[in-house]
Amino acid sequence: MTRPPVTTAAGARAASGPVTTVIENVHVATMQPGAPYGAVRDAAIALAGELVAWVGPRAECPAAPAARRVDARGRWATPGLVDCHTHLVYAGNRAAEFEMRLAGATYEEIARAGGGIVSTVQATRAATEEALLAQALRRVDALRREGVTTLEVKSGYGLEAAAEAKMLRVARAIGRERPLTVRTTFLGAHALPPEYAGRADDYVEAIVESMLPQVAAEGLADAVDAFCERIAFTADQTRRVFEAAKRHGLPVKLHADQLSDGNGALLAARHGALSADHLEYTNAAGVAAMAQAGTVAVLLPGAFYFLREKELPPVETLRRHGVPMAIATDCNPGSSPIASLLLMLSMACTLFRLTPEEALAGVTRNAALALGLGDRGTIAPGLVADLAFWDIGAPAELAYQVCLNACVGVWRSGQPVFGAP
Ligand code: DI6
Ligand code: FE
């Protein structure tokens, strides 16, 4: 039995008011650094309203005679899971492109021939907000059933002001329709829209001078992202987008070095990015710069798997430099049509050689960091009481078993959302 460390998490708030609920007969993977999984067996979690007030061995739980008591019947609790990189608002699908790739065409060839992202752009521009929301909610609900309580959603299939704003409004609507926290990211620099063919700099100008300012003025985005890649935007174009984001007070993140080494991680770190994502081709200098800047590495094994990539992200170098590693679905129609974060745990271990503990930290503590959310990601006093309950015997089972969703209940902000512990 291990006690959680007594450190206070960075985003902790002082719990105001008395303990309202005590969850007992529970094993807790707090995911606080220190002991493996920050685990406490035979634990109790005391909640004060929407916050965790106390977590530790049940025998030491402070008396709270007025509190509601919940028997978790020996289940495990983890922080609510965080999917920190998705493109799950889109219309249509790319199953035909999947068939082309299986017959030999590459993702880059399809993109250069006008397929790929641009084909999803056409479908997404044509879709109504209602239709986009209905399709997105199916993906969201699949993630929620696996314990996801915080979700990032990117734009990037509109590539013009109105359609980008439409996507971001739909992303915001998800957070009203369902009990989970949604963080939105403006990804206008995802691909070159057909009407700007051969004029990438002009499109970047439009992003910087009109699209991004509009999105910022309407409060539609919490962060700004770009796809820095030879089939997308150059380092210099990415820098212009980042500088504009900064002018509007928005943090940045980057699709970096996914298909080739474009020094993307270095660029992201130099701009103090929250995260650099993908990173298959990232070099050692990029990793060192990320460590210095505190930029989180978001690894996306679903895209690696689905595109049948061969180049592995530099996991050992990231480890050596102490760069926090997050894991996400990258849920999107072209490179990761996958709405399972638990499957990503398995793939992070089998394909990228993370440990099950690193993988779980990747969808909790480090995923929250990648979104700049200091108020969640571990179970600790003063943090939001987003909890997932699991019918497992040990936390490693979450990464070990596939298509056997062990999530039996979810609480959000101190309230049950579905199931029971
Ligand atoms: N990298 C990806 O893997 C996704 N976007 C990106 O920048 C793919 C998006 C798509 O193919 O629709
Ligand atoms: Fe992505």
Residue position matching structure tokens 């796809």? 227
Residue 255 CA: nearest ligand 1 atom is 7
Q: Which ligand is nearest to the CA of 86?
A: 2
pLDDT (average), residues 266-287: 98
Residue 190 CA: nearest ligand 1 atom is 7
Give residue 11's pLDDT: 82
Ligand 2 centroid vs 166 CA: distance in angstroms?
19
Give residue 14's pLDDT: 75
pLDDT (average), residues 7-24: 80
Which of 85, 117, 118 has the most ligand 1 atoms within 8 A of CB, as the residue to mutate? 117
Give residue 78's pLDDT: 98
How high is the mean pLDDT of the chain?
A: 95
Q: Is the whole-model pTM more than 0.95?
A: yes
Confidence of residue 112 (pLDDT cuts 50, 70, 90): confident
Q: Cβ neighbours of residue 365 under 8 Å, at least 6 residues apart?
A: 31, 32, 33, 79, 324, 377, 378
pLDDT at 1 over 50: no
Q: Is residue 116 lining ligand 1, measured as CB closer than 6 Å? A: yes
DSSP state of 160: S
The residue among 187, 221, 222, 183 whose CA lies nearest residue 83 is 183
DSSP state of 312: P
Ligand 1 centroid vs 279 CA: distance in angstroms?
13
Residue 336 CA: nearest ligand 1 atom is 3
CB 388 within 8 Å of CB 420: no
Which of 94, 190, 338 has the most ligand 1 atoms within 8 A of CB, as the residue to mutate? 190
User: Hey, is 378 helix, strand or coil?
Assistant: coil
Give residue 2's pLDDT: 38
Give residue 213's pLDDT: 98
DSSP state of 15: P
Give residue 345's pLDDT: 98
Confidence of residue 111 (pLDDT cuts 50, 70, 90): confident
Give residue 9's pLDDT: 65
CB 318 within 8 Å of CB 271: no
Residue position matching structure tokens 């212009």? 240
The residue among 401, 364, 308, 339 whose CA lies nearest residue 39 is 364
Residue 116 CA: nearest ligand 1 atom is 11
Closest residue to atom 3 of ligand 1, CA basis: 335
Give residue 6's pLDDT: 40
Give pairs for 169-178: CB < 8 Å, separation 24+.
169/129, 169/220, 170/89, 170/129, 170/132, 170/133, 170/136, 171/89, 171/136, 172/220, 173/129, 173/133, 174/89, 174/133, 174/136, 174/137, 174/140, 177/133, 177/137, 178/137, 178/140, 178/141, 178/144
Most confident option among 15-29, 93-107, 361-375? 361-375
Q: What angle do CA 199, 204, 206 make, to 5 degrees?
A: 95
User: Two tokens at 392?
Assistant: 């497992």
Handedness of CA 267, 269, 271, 275 (dihedral sign): positive
Each residue of 83-92: pLDDT tens digit? 999 999 999 9
pLDDT at 130 over 50: yes
pLDDT at 153 over 60: yes
Residue type, 365: R
